[in-house]
Each structure stands twice: as C-alpha cells, then as structure tokens.
Amino acid sequence: MANNPLLCPVNQPIDYAQVQPDHIVQAIPVLIDDARRATDEAARPDLPCSWDAIIEPLQDKTEALWRAWSVAGHLNAVVNTPELRAAYNQCLPQVTEFATWVGLHEGLYQQYKRLKASSEFSALSPVRQRIIDLALRDFRLGGAELQGEQRERYRTISDQQAQLSQKFSENVLDSIDRWALYITDESRLEGLPADVIHAARQAARDEGKDGWKLTLKMPCYIPVMQYAQDRELRYDMYRGYATIASEFGDPELDNSSLIEQLLALRAEEARLLGYQTFADVRLETRMAESAQQVLDFLRELAQKAKPYAERDLAELKEFAATTLGMDDVQPWDIAYISEQLRENRYAYSEDEVKQYFTEPQVLKGLFNVASRLFDIKFNPVQASTWHPDVRTFAVTDKNDTILGHLYLDLYARQGKQSGAWVSCERDRRRRGDALRTPVVYLTCNFSPAQSGKPAILTHDDVITLFHESGHALHALLSRVDDPGASAFSSVEWDAIELPSQFMENFCWEWSVVQAMSSHIETGKSLPRELYNKLLAARNFQSGMQMVRQLEFALFDMGIHQHDAGLSIKEVLEALDQVRKEVAVLFPPSWHRFPHNFSHLFAGGYSAGYYSYKWAEVLSADAYAAFEESAVIQPDGTRDTLCPKTGRRFLDEILAVGGARPAAESFQAFRGREPSIDALLKHSGMAEA
C-alpha cells in the first residue's frame, strides 16, 4: 500500500505509468473509509458552527477519494483492459454507495442547514455562501429528506443506475472494438484518402492478415462514408455503426434492456423526490426554468431551421440525380453525396484541406490563440503518463506562475472510448497560504501519425480540438479557490458548453487558420483561395445539421418527461415522432441510434442534451463581442484576437467558474441578456 500511486497526497502528481488495476482495488476502499469517518466527524452537532470546523476538514479527506476515483475512471476510458475494467467495476458499487450515503446523511445535512441559519453565514464570502446554498439544494435532490423505505429505495436506485450506465458504456466500447470489415479487393477502396488506406493496411498486418481492416472508429468510419465509391461498402459500414450495441449484434452487448431499466429508475427517482418527471429533477440545476421553456426554445429553433434543412436536402438530391446518376438516395449515401456536392460547389475536398493541418502546427496555433486572448503560455513538461502518445504542459501566466497542468491524449486506439471530452484529476484549491492548481485531461480520437510524418487533422478535427480546449481553459484559468464552486462542479449544465463552443469560432478566422496551417509536404500555410472556399462552405448544410441536433435534444426531453419508464419499442416510437416533427432525413427501421447515445445513458446529458443549443446561443453572442472589437488589417481581413475583450471574457466567464449563476456571468461580460440573433447569423440563417 505504501507504494500505491493513488494514495499519494493530492498536491503531488500521480505516477500514471505505475498505476495498476490492483492499486485501484486497494486504494478506493481505504479512501472511502477515511472519507466516511470524516463525514461522520463533520456531522457532529457539538462542532463550532463554522466553515473551518465543518467543511474544510471534510474536503481534505473526500477530495483524496474523488481524485483517485477520477484517475481510475479516466484510465478505464482511455486504456481499457479486462483487468482494469474488472477493478473499476469492483469499486464502482462501493463508490456509488458512499456518494449516496453522503447525500442521505441527515447529520451532515443538518450541519449545512445550521451553517446557513447562523450568523457565520453572512460573514462568509459570496462564493462560500453559494457553495452552501448549492449543497443544500443537492442534499434535497440527493434524497436527504426521504425517510424509511423511500430512503432505502433511493439508495438502491442510485447504485443500480451507476452500474447500468457503466455497462451501457462498456457495451458501446466493446461493440465498436469487436466490429471489423476485412477487404481483400483493393478496388473496393476506390476514393478513400491515402492515409486512411495506409492505416487500414497496417491494421490488417498487425493482425497477421492480408488486405485492409476497416473499423467503426471515427478516423476510419467517417472517411469511408464520405469518400468510398463502393456503395455496398458504405452500406456495410453504415449498418455496422447504426446497430452498435443493439439486438442486431452480439446479444451480450445489446443495450435495449439497459435503456428500459435506466428510464424506469430515473422516473422512479423523480417520483421519490416529489417531482412529476426526471426532466423536472434535472432542470432544478439548470439555467432553463422548465421543460416547457426548453421545448419552446428547441421548437423555435426548429421552425427557423427546418426550411433551410429542406432546401439543403433538395439540393443534395438534385445533385445526386443530375450529376451522380443516383435517383434512389439512401442514408448511407448522404455523407458521400454531400462531400461530392461540396467539392463540386466549392472546388475543394476535405482531404485536400486536411493536408495543411498537421497536428504540431495546429497545436501551436491553438496555444497562440489562448496566449493572445488570455496572456498565458503552454510549456511542455516531463511527466508520467498512461500512454506514450500523451503529452503534458504546464500552463503559466505572463509571470511564469503555474496556473495548472494539461494532459493531451489526442489519438484513437484500441481500448479507448470514442469521442472527445475534458475531465479533471483535481480542481484548484487554496488552503491557508498553499495553493493547489488544477490538473486537466483533454482527450480526442484523431488519426495517429504514420510513416514518421506528423498526424494530419481534418478541419472538423481542428474545431473539435478548439472546442475541448474551451472546456480545459474553463478549469485551468479558474481563480475560484474553493472546489465546490469550480466550473465542472457548479456551472449550470446548459451553460457549461459556452467556453467550448466559443473557442470553435476562431477556427474560421483567416489570421488563425493561416498561423496554424502547414502543408505536410511543403510546409506552406493554407492558401487564401482555399481558405475562401472553406469559409464559403462554412454553413454548407447547416440547416440539416441543426435539425439533427434538435432531433436529439427533443428526443432526450421527450423520453424523460414521463412519470414511468418506457419499453424500447416506445423509445424508438418517441424518436420517430420527433423525426416527423423536425427531421428531413429518415433512417431505416433497423437503425438503433439510442443504443449508442452515450451522452444520455452513460454520460451527464440525460434531460440535458438541449444544453448544446442553449449554450450555443450564449457562445455565439459572446463571440459577437470579439467581432465588434475586431481590428481590420491592411489586407481587409479582421483580427478578432482582441486581448482587451479576451481579458474581459477571462475575468467574467472563465475565471469565475461557478462562483455565481451563469446568467450573471454572461450579463457581466455582455452587458445584457443573450440574444438568439448571433447564432442564426453564424449558422447562415440571419434572414430567418
């Protein structure tokens, strides 16, 4: 136990390379026991009624547990092995039971109520007052006011939901990892980019096979759907991805029953807490005030976007018929036809653009944007990591004071969950004179480097990297000294995407694109002519893209607005109903989108997927402030990297985290409430 890297003090770095599954199994029970004793101690009614007597000592013990569990969860997501998964799953019920126990702890709940009612409360900082108010809300939502059988049932429900969500996630990961299509006829790969063909060839060789191995991981799946001329090949890949973790694959990996169980448990949880639906519970912690307000917001956007989506689809079908000779357009043709139409209309391909975005230069460009806006630096440092691909940076201010550390894990691989996300090992915390800085993970799934050359990214990959950097900066640039008010702890979920979606906008600015592009062969930056084509195509099919996101959000709210669970048949029918309302594309009856919707069933977005669009209104309006303060260059282009506006964004949005309601932070930055106009303008729908 003495050499267990998960038991090192929270202010010391984790030796990730040394973490073994056994370390998780050994450390978590010990840390739970410590945290349990500290909780009981903090609940003693004879303690002085003060922050220092009750909350600080409790935080000392509980943060060690949550740091270790965060590391375990992260490793389980990025270097998954049977042994690591078993260790994680062995500890998951213990961690869930402890978290539920704390939420139901009557003595601790009374201490927070006692603090709130005391004269001490008014002497606390506004941040600490907010933390206590949020804690009281969370106690109530965590079942602290339940008694007897209801309390025990709530405890059971919490444990079951955690295990079902973990199993859902595992089924998706395993379905993707186990699926492969082996091609022996090279002519079937006609149209695919050279780097994708090379990676497929290498993947087959790694298994001692001839030919090419295609997978459902995004660096392979997306290019096949966009470029493969073989329609049957596109169908096979589409069918594989559309039926992930469903009844059409391995029965052991079918998520149907997990979806049913999760919806039933969520509805029961809501009833126990005195709410009509699970959506009502979730919205207690959001900016949005009611489910109806969310639905009205989504439908207003849908009403404005659907005519554009219908126009997009009509153009696509006309092009398919007149230029490609395809009268019978199927869902597995959409990405291919769209790419052909884009190339025809704007005279460029995504593959052509991709050659200019080498990962080292993109990273340099990203760091330069953050440096100019927020006066910070990213310094490479040596650190123990969980995989050779991972790089570590110390983030410092202009005085070289360390603000935090960033771990970048950018490439797809076997045993790594798909998608892109940011999470924290630990938050910023000041204890007396000692300041502990945050440690943040930024994870993506890009195509890895090949043949000694740097990795190359699509422009969509670049946007993804900038998006996730916004989340990372939200945590790294915090000036909040109490973790209970950190960005990821207490910013409302429908505002958490503001910094991430805000950062995406810089990927379209000429000065930024020029600085972060370097052709993989020539080293030249993206030509202005090609940039102009890219910019002209920015809102290509934006109508179809928007209604697709609205479809997901309306489906999410719909299935969580019931006072009981739904059968999988009813879930699929609910999705069909939403599509009839807002969609323009309709997949085949065997499509099983919900079975792979990890945001809803294995992430934190249940009854909250609308947050992406809600926050997009905030982010577009926030970016409009940079457009308004832009400097016009001699060549007529604008420079939106305004340090003065960046400093205000840092001071009013990033640095304050969850120290105040998100609506107040937005108004402090913008001087008014948000407007939907900027989003419509950025989406090419201004005339709507």
The residue length of the chain stands at 688
Helix or strand (DSSP H, E) at 597: none
CB 294 within 8 A of CB 288: yes
How far is the C-alpha of 320 from the C-alpha of 292, rounded, in Å?
40
The residues pairing with 442 across neighbouring beta strands, listed in sequence order, are: 408, 422
Instruction: Give every CB contact of residue 564 below 8 A, 6+ residues apart in sequence.
Output: 264, 267
Residue for token pair 């969310």: 294
Q: Are strands 402-411 and 439-446 parallel, antiparallel or unpaired?
A: parallel
The residues pairing with 424 across neighbouring beta strands, listed in sequence order, are: 440
User: What sign does the CA torsion over 13, 31, 475, 503 have?
Assistant: positive
CB 667 within 8 A of CB 648: no
Task: Based on the residue annotation, tell me whether 468 is a catalytic residue of this protein.
Answer: yes
- What own/partner pairs with CB < 8 Å and gap ≥ 24 does 14-23 have? 14/71, 14/384, 14/425, 15/384, 16/71, 16/75, 16/383, 16/384, 16/385, 16/386, 17/384, 17/385, 17/386, 18/384, 19/71, 19/75, 19/386, 21/81, 21/83, 21/84, 21/86, 21/87, 22/87
b/e per residue 76-114 (b: at least 16 CB within 10 A)? bbbbbeeebbebbeebbeebbbbbbbbbbbeebbebbee
Question: And the tokens for 503?
Answer: 């950062």
How far is the C-alpha of 36 from the C-alpha of 102, rounded, in Å?
8
Q: ∠57-61-64 over CA atoms, to 5°? A: 140
Distances 679 to 195, 615, 617, 666, 668 between C-alpha atoms, Å: 35, 10, 6, 15, 20
Alpha-helical regions (H) of 537-597:
542-559, 568-582
CB 686 within 8 A of CB 412: no
Active-site residue (options: 63, 260, 468, 497):
468
User: What sign does the CA torsion over 255, 72, 76, 364 have?
Assistant: positive
CB 279 within 8 A of CB 563: no
If you ran DSSP here, which 8-state letter would residue 358 be given? B
How far is the C-alpha of 16 from the C-alpha of 640, rounded, in Å?
39
How far is the C-alpha of 635 from the C-alpha of 416, rounded, in Å?
45
Q: Which of 252, 226, 96, 94 is nearest to 172 (CA)?
A: 252
The torsion region of residue 527 among left (phi > 0), alpha (psi -120 to 50) and beta comes to: beta
The residues pairing with 213 across neighbouring beta strands, listed in sequence order, are: 182
CB 454 within 8 A of CB 632: no
Q: Which residues are marked as active site?
A: 468
